[in-house]
Chain A
Amino acid sequence: MVPDNRIGIHKRFADADLRCEPVALGYRLTLRSDPTEPEAARKGNPDLAKSPRPRANTPAAKPAAKRAARPTATASGSAEPIIASSVADEAAFALRSLQQAHANNKRYDASDEELLKFYEQMVLIRRFEEKAGQLYGLGLIGGFCHLYIGQEAVAVGLQSALKEGHDSVITGYRDHGHMLAYGIDPKVIMAELTGRGAGISRGKGGSMHMFSTEHKFYGGHGIVGAQVPLGAGLAFAHKYRNDGGVCMAYFGDGASNQGQVYETFNMAALWKLPIIFVVENNGYAMGTAVKRGSAETHFYRRGTAFRIPGMDVNGMDVLEVRQAAEVALEYVRAGNGPVLMELKTYRYRGHSMSDPAKYRSREEVQEMRDNHDPIEGAKAELLKRGVTEEKIKEIDKRIRQVVAESADFAETSPEPDVAELYTDVLVETY
C-alpha cells in the first residue's frame, strides 16, 4: 500500500518541477505540493508556533518571495515553518525538503561584522590547534590529541546559529574547535591539554574529555559513537522541560557505523526530540577512507529509514554551513523532530598526533588546503567586500597573541594538587 501510494505521489508531482537535482542525488524525491493537513499546525510546540519567528532579520525568514514559489503552508500565509507543513502523510514524507530549502538559498547573508567574527573564530581554532600540535611535540601534551585543522567552518558555522548557554552541544574526542566556537576560554582548554590544575577538567580529563556545563557543552567523549545517544538524552531533557533548546550532536563518518547511532535515530524520530545530528564527514576514520568502511557513503541519507530529513552541506564554506543551520534549526525548533546533516569537510592533519597518514596522498591534502580552505575562503570574501588587509592582519595578530597567552598559561600553571587524585569520583559521601 505504502509503496504504491508513494509512486502515485511521485507521478502526481513529477510535473510540478519540485524535484531536487537528480544528478547530484542519484535519486529523485518530490516535495508535496498540497499539504492537506499541516502536521506542525496540529502538533507543533504551541509556544513556538505562536511566537514570532526567531531572527527576523536573517535570510531564512526574509525571502518570502523565493518561498512563495514553493507551494507550502508558509507561502500561503501561515506562520508555520514551511518545511514542517509538508510532512502531512505517509507518502509525502519530506525527507528531502530541508535539502531543497538549502539548495534554494545556499549561503547565509552575513553582515561584514558577522563574517569578521566567523573569520576570527576560525583563525582562533586554527592557531590554537597548531600550537597544541607544537606543545605535543615538546612533550607538554600527552596521550591522544586530535586536531580540528581544516574543519573549522563546521563548528563555527553551526554553533554561530545556536544560543550559547541555552542550546546543548556534544561531540567526540576531536573537541577543541567546538569548545572555542562556543566561546570557552582558550586558556582553560590549553591548560587541560597540558594536564594542569587550572584546566577545564582540572587536568583530570585531557584533550578528549572536556566539558562546560555553564556553556552547555557536554563533551568531549572518547568512545566513538557514545555521544550520539547522549546527545539525544540532552535533547530529551530540553523537550521534557519544554525550554525551547535543541541539542547539536556531532560525530564522524566512522562513528556513523556504530549501532547505537541507529538506535538513537529511531527513538529521536519516534519521540520528535529536538536534536540535530551532525556527521562531520572528513573523509577518513583513522586510516579508513569512507568508501572502505561505509556501504552508504551519503551519510545524510542514513536517516531515511527513520524518517529523519537529511541535508548535504559543504562544510568548507562557513556561510553555507550557517545557512544550513538556519534551515535545520527552524525545523527542529518547530517541534518536528530530528534533522540529520552531513557536513563534507576534511582534516589536514593525521587522525591524532601519532598517525603517519600514509593512507592518502600529499596532493590530496594540498588540494584541499589550496582550493577549499575555509579560512582562506572567508578571507577572500572579506577582501571582496572591501574589508581592508590591515583589518584582517589585525585580527590575525590579536589571535596569535591570545593563543600565545593560552600556551604560556598552560605551560606555567601548576599541575593539579595531588589531593585531586581522590576527588570527584562520587559526588556524595556514603
Chain B
Amino acid sequence: MYAFNYQRPKTVRQAAGLLAKAGGDGKLLAGGQTLLPTMKQRLASPAMLIDLNQVDGMSGIELKGRNLHIGAMTKHADVANSHVVKTAIPGLAALAEGIGDPAVRNRGTIGGSIANNDPAADYPAACLGLGATIVTNKRKIPADEFFTGMFDTALEEGEIVTKVIFPVPQKAAYEKFPNPASRYAMVGVFVGKKGSDVRVAVTGAGANGVFRLPEFEAALKTRFNAKSLDGLSVPADGLNGDIHASPEYRAHLIGVMAKRAVSKALGK
C-alpha cells in the first residue's frame, strides 16, 4: 500500500466536495472489500480516501409503497438478514446471503458493489433483473443504463451512489453457480416477474459484465415456467473463458441456472 490522505465526511455534499477537490486522485471508500485489497497489492494508489462510513443517511432499508429503498452504504449482511427484504423480495435477501463470507458481508456494501461492477458480482444481476433505479447525488439512473461494461458504470466523475430502489416483483429468484476458487459468480442468473415485465439478468458470464436475455424473457412472458426455456440456448460467443469455465460451459450453465431460478421463483 502507498501512503494516502484520509477524510471522513459527514454528509454526501462534503463527500462530493472532497471528491471534486481531489481531482482524479480521490476514491470513495465504502466497505473496502475491493478497494483495500487492490491498494494493498499496489494496483491502486489513490492520493485521498474519502470514507463514506460516517455519512448520515446513506444506509438503511425501507419499503415505500411498492418500492424497496436500500441505502448505498447498507451492508450485505443487513440486506440478507432484513425482515423487510426477506418479505418483499426474498430472492434479493438470499442473493446477499450468498456473497463472499461473513467478514465480507459485514463490511461490503451494495453501493460499493454496484459502483465497482465486477463482472462476477451478484448485485448487478439483481439490479438488472428487478429493473432497479440507482440514485446518485446528481440523478436517477435506470439499471439498464447503469452497467456499461466490465468494471464500468454510467457514474460520472464525482458522482456518488446514495441508494438503490427496487420495484417489488411478484416473483423473483437468483441462482448462482459459484466460481470454485473465489466463489464469486461464475454464472449467476436473476429472474424477476412484475406484471407482464419479465427480466432475466446474467452475471459472471459476460465479457462486458451483466446482461439480459431477451429471448429467455420473451419465452417466460408467454408462460412463466422453467419448461418454457426448454430448447433455448445461449451462444458461447462473447462469454468469458478461463481456467474454471470455457465459454461453452458458461453458456450451458446459463440455461441450467435460468431454469432453476424460475423454478425457485415459483417456489418449486
| B and A form one assembly | no
Instruction: Give chain B's interface residues, CB within 8 Å of chain A.
Output: none
Interface residues of A (CB under 8 A from B): none
